[in-house]
């Protein structure tokens, strides 16, 4: 038995086998082999396994995102049958007597460079695909990946996880997360909360010492992970899981009820989402809408920009699933910890204060316009609102307005149906707070991003796990800022919500209601807990009268 402690990111208990997660970004090293034909047979075996994986991925994607978007997996499968590609790998093994993984890596790079140099845009885009396919083969050859179908539900143990890696994991197969690094306020932590998965960060273990398959108990209440637990510890974990289920079932009784305080004040409770799965979860938890759809997650965990069509379909699907309820889609908030290689962003000294979010969109307007076209088109099919992240000035908001007008004119010219959506901004910089009076005149609503607002107000990097104890989102400075933003929004007749993690703090629900916050957007799993907190606010005597008239 081995036991380690860490910081709790999401409470809960998990019990099951461990899967040690390895990064795949190390270069493949050449190794000498003696039996070329045996090595080629290994590559062929890996090829068969890769094709099986791709078939499974294709079937899953058809169900989740539709045939058109799933086609990429079919294209990858066909690449694995390309004779030129395979012949080059085999001839490298035969003539240079190198290991299969290295031969695949070199061949992949060769084909990728060839595609990248082509005139035709479609062929150029295949450069990333051939690298993707080669990496899949390499992972199988090096034994660093099981076929998705073979992986049993596990507790992931990793040195660190990026949002992009987390996004690629099959949520159904994750029981919990345990990482050595990471902070409680990072996007990986946010993803764990969205996925409703117990998670610990800052656990001082050495992942290489833990074997995949080892049994573990993750206690996300005590902040503890136990490897090779004793039977009594497993029994206790099962009991705790049962207790949690009971509490959950009690909360279920609040489905369909209003978010109304005992003295009659009503607040909107929406859900944060980053994928279609999250929207399903939001619906299951009776969300009144989607208050923050982190669109950048559509851009992560892939090798090229999502096309206008892909984005349009994803946003339209979100709107359709919510069936008339508001879906607030935030435009691309890439940069800092949310990185995708194909953006080719330079390394920066201070990425959290660097070239990110709206700054990228306003300087690379083609990327921004593609997203806006998709958003405005999807808005014609549902109740979509759009909001913009990391705003610091009125000039930015005016410039966004001009670009939206240009996009609308282009759609008009192209005869493509669209709708002008409600538009708001995130208030997540102290600058935006201080000029919220002026900004309120330019927009339809505000959504306060307390994660970044806390980081910039307290001058604490939210990615730095060492500072978690200093990162206090309940700091008076942050609460006073929220109060100021609410006053300024309401003075101009605009509504204001909170979509940062602070909105999900049940102990603050009363504070926010008293401030006059109109909406809270929280992880789907938190909706019923906050509804419970809201319904306990207010005067009991008034409540007796209210109960007679209320819907519940």
Residues that bind ligand PEP (CB under 6 A): 190, 292, 294, 333, 428, 449-452, 499-500
Residue 377 binds what, of Mg ion, ligand PEP, none (CB under 5 to 8 Å, by partner type)?
none
> In this complex, which beta carbon is closest to Mg ion, that of residue 275 or of residue 451?
451
Residue 215 token pair = 């049994």
Give the binding range for Mg ion (CB under 5 A) out of 170-178, 221-229, 424-432, 522-530.
424-432
Contact 469, 446 (CB under 8 A): no
Residue 465 as a binder of Mg ion (CB under 5 A): the answer is no
**How long is the chain?**
552
Give the shortest CB-276-to-ligand PEP separation in angstroms. Answer: 18
Give the shortest CB-503-to-ligand PEP separation in angstroms. Answer: 9
Give the shortest CB-81-to-ligand PEP separation in angstroms. Answer: 41
Rounded Cα gap, residues 128 and 12, in angstroms: 39
Helix orientation angle between 67-79 and 121-142, rounded to the nearest 10 degrees = 70
Q: Say which DSSP state 181 is in.
A: S
Contact 521, 544 (CB under 8 A): no
Number of Cβ within 10 Å of residue 423's Cβ equals 19
Residue 219 binds what, of Mg ion, ligand PEP, none (CB under 5 to 8 Å, by partner type)?
none
Residue 510 token pair = 């009363």
Distance of alpha carbon 476 from its chain centroid, rounded? 29
Rounded Cα gap, residues 55 and 17, in angstroms: 26
> In this complex, which beta carbon is closest to ligand PEP, that of residue 343 or of residue 381?
343
Q: For the sheet containing 7-10, what is the strand order?
A: 2-5, 224-227, 215-219, 13-20, 154-158, 174-179, 199-201, 7-10
Rounded Cα gap, residues 220 and 291, in angstroms: 27
Give the shortest CB-405-to-Mg ion separation in angstroms. Answer: 26
Rounded Cα gap, residues 29 and 24, in angstroms: 13
Residue 274 as a binder of Mg ion (CB under 5 A): the answer is no
207, with CB counted inside 10 A (0-12, 13-18, 19+), is middle
Contact 198, 217 (CB under 8 A): no
Give the shortest CB-485-to-ligand PEP separation in angstroms. Answer: 13
Residue 370 binds what, of ligand PEP, Mg ion, none (CB under 5 to 8 Å, by partner type)?
none
- Residues with Cβ within 8 Å of 143's Cβ and at least 6 positions away in sequence, in order, are none
> In this complex, which beta carbon is closest to ligand PEP, that of residue 210 or of residue 292?
292
Give the shortest CB-15-to-ligand PEP separation in angstroms. Answer: 30
> In this complex, which beta carbon is closest to ligand PEP, that of residue 70 or of residue 352?
352
* 76 belongs to the catalytic site: no
Task: Please give the full DSSP string across 499-528, using - where no structure is assigned.
Answer: -SGGGG-GGGHHHHHHHT--EEEE-GGGHH
* 499 belongs to the catalytic site: yes
Residue 337 binds what, of ligand PEP, Mg ion, none (CB under 5 to 8 Å, by partner type)?
none
Helix orientation angle between 83-96 and 36-65, rounded to the nearest 10 degrees = 150
Give the binding range for Mg ion (CB under 5 A) out of 30-38, 216-224, 445-453, 475-483.
445-453
CA dihedral 351, 524, 496, 318 (to 10 degrees): 90
Q: Between β-strands 154-158 and 174-179, what pairing exists: parallel, antiparallel or unpaired?
A: parallel
Residue 166 binds what, of ligand PEP, Mg ion, none (CB under 5 to 8 Å, by partner type)?
none
Query: Which of 76, 187, 281, 361 does the annotation list as catalytic?
Result: 187
Give the shortest CB-449-to-Mg ion separation in angstroms. Answer: 4
Task: Report the half-sphere exposure of 63 (CA within 13 A, side-chain side).
Answer: 6
Residue 449 as a binder of Mg ion (CB under 5 A): the answer is yes
> In this complex, which beta carbon is closest to ligand PEP, that of residue 259 or of residue 450?
450
Residue 452 as a binder of Mg ion (CB under 5 A): the answer is yes
Residue 468 as a binder of Mg ion (CB under 5 A): the answer is no
> In this complex, which beta carbon is closest to Mg ion, that of residue 337 or of residue 452?
452
Straight-line distance from the first to the last Cα atom of the chain, in angstroms, rounded to the nearest whole number? 50
Rounded Cα gap, residues 433 and 481, in angstroms: 6
Give the shortest CB-330-to-ligand PEP separation in angstroms. Answer: 8
Rounded Cα gap, residues 137 and 100, in angstroms: 9
Give the binding range for Mg ion (CB under 5 A) out of 149-157, 420-428, 490-498, 526-534.
420-428
Runs of H (alpha helix) within 323-364: 358-363
Residue 139 binds what, of ligand PEP, Mg ion, none (CB under 5 to 8 Å, by partner type)?
none
Give the shortest CB-286-to-ligand PEP separation in angstroms. Answer: 21
Residue 500 binds what, of ligand PEP, Mg ion, none (CB under 5 to 8 Å, by partner type)?
ligand PEP
Q: Which residue is nearest to Mg ion (CB)?
A: 452
Residue 499 binds what, of Mg ion, ligand PEP, none (CB under 5 to 8 Å, by partner type)?
ligand PEP
Residue 151 token pair = 């992986």
Residue 450 binds what, of Mg ion, ligand PEP, none (CB under 5 to 8 Å, by partner type)?
ligand PEP
> In this complex, which beta carbon is closest to ligand PEP, that of residue 103 or of residue 201?
201
- Residues with Cβ within 8 Å of 87's Cβ and at least 6 positions away in sequence, in order, are none
Give the binding range for Mg ion (CB under 5 A) out of 52-60, 284-292, 428-436, 521-529.
428-436
Query: Which of 76, 281, 361, 499 does the annotation list as catalytic?
Result: 499
**Site residues (CB under 5 A) for Mg ion?**
428, 449, 452
Which residues are annotated as catalytic?
Answer: 187, 499
């Amino acid at each position: 038995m081995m036991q380690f402690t860490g910081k709790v990111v999401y409470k809960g208990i998990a019990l099951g086998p461990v899967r040690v997660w390895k990064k795949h970004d190390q270069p493949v090293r050449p190794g000498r082999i003696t039996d070329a034909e045996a090595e080629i047979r290994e590559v062929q075996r890996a090829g068969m396994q890769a094709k099986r994986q791709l078939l499974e991925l294709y079937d899953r994607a058809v169900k989740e995102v539709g045939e058109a978007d799933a086609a990429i997996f079919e294209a990858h499968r066909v690449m694995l049958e390309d004779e030129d590609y395979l012949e080059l790998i085999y001839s490298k093994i035969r003539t240079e007597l190198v290991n299969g993984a290295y031969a695949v890596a070199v061949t992949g790079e060769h084909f990728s460079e060839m595609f990248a140099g082509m005139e035709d845009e479609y062929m150029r885009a295949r450069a990333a695909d051939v690298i993707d396919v080669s990496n899949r083969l390499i992972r199988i050859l090096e034994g660093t990946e099981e076929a998705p179908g073979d992986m049993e539900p596990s507790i992931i143990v990793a040195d660190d996880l990026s949002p992009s890696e987390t996004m690629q994991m099959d949520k159904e197969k994750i029981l919990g997360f345990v990482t050595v690094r990471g902070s409680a306020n990072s996007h990986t932590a946010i993803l764990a909360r969205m996925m409703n998965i117990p998670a610990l960060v800052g656990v001082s273990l050495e992942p290489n010492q833990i074997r995949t398959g080892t049994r573990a108990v993750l206690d996300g209440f005590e902040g503890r992970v136990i490897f090779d637990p004793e039977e009594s510890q497993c029994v206790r974990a099962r009991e705790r899981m049962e207790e949690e289920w009971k509490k959950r079932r009690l909360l279920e009784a609040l489905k369909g009820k209003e978010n109304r305080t005992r003295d009659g004040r009503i607040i909107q409770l929406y859900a944060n989402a980053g994928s279609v799965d999250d929207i399903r979860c939001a619906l299951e938890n009776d969300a009144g809408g989607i208050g923050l759809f982190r669109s950048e997650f559509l851009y992560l965990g892939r090798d090229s920009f999502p096309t206008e069509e892909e984005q349009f379909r994803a946003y339209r699907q979100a709107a359709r699933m919510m069936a008339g309820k508001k879906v607030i889609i935030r435009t691309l908030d890439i940069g800092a910890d949310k990185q995708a290689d194909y953006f080719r962003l330079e390394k920066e000294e201070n990425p959290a204060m660097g070239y990110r979010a709206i700054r990228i969109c306003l300087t690379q307007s083609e990327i921004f316009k593609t997203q806006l076209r998709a958003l405005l088109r999807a808005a014609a099919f549902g109740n979509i609102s759009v909001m913009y992240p990391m705003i610091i000035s009125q000039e930015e908001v005016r410039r966004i307005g001009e670009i939206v007008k240009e996009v609308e004119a282009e759609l008009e010219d192209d005869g493509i149906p669209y709708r002008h959506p409600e538009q708001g901004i995130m208030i997540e910089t102290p600058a935006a707070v201080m000029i919220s009076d002026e900004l309120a005149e330019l927009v339809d609503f505000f959504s306060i991003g307390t994660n970044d607002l806390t980081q910039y107000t307290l001058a604490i990097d939210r990615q730095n796990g060492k500072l978690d104890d200093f990162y206090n989102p309940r700091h008076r400075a942050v609460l006073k800022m929220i109060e100021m933003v609410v006053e300024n929004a309401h003075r101009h007749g605009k509504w204001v919500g909170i979509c940062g993690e602070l909105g999900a703090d049940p102990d603050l629900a009363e504070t926010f209601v008293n401030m006059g916050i109109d909406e809270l957007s929280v992880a789907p799993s938190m909706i019923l807990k906050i509804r419970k907190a809201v319904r306990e606010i207010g005067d009991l005597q008034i409540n007796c009268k209210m109960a007679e008239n209320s819907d519940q």
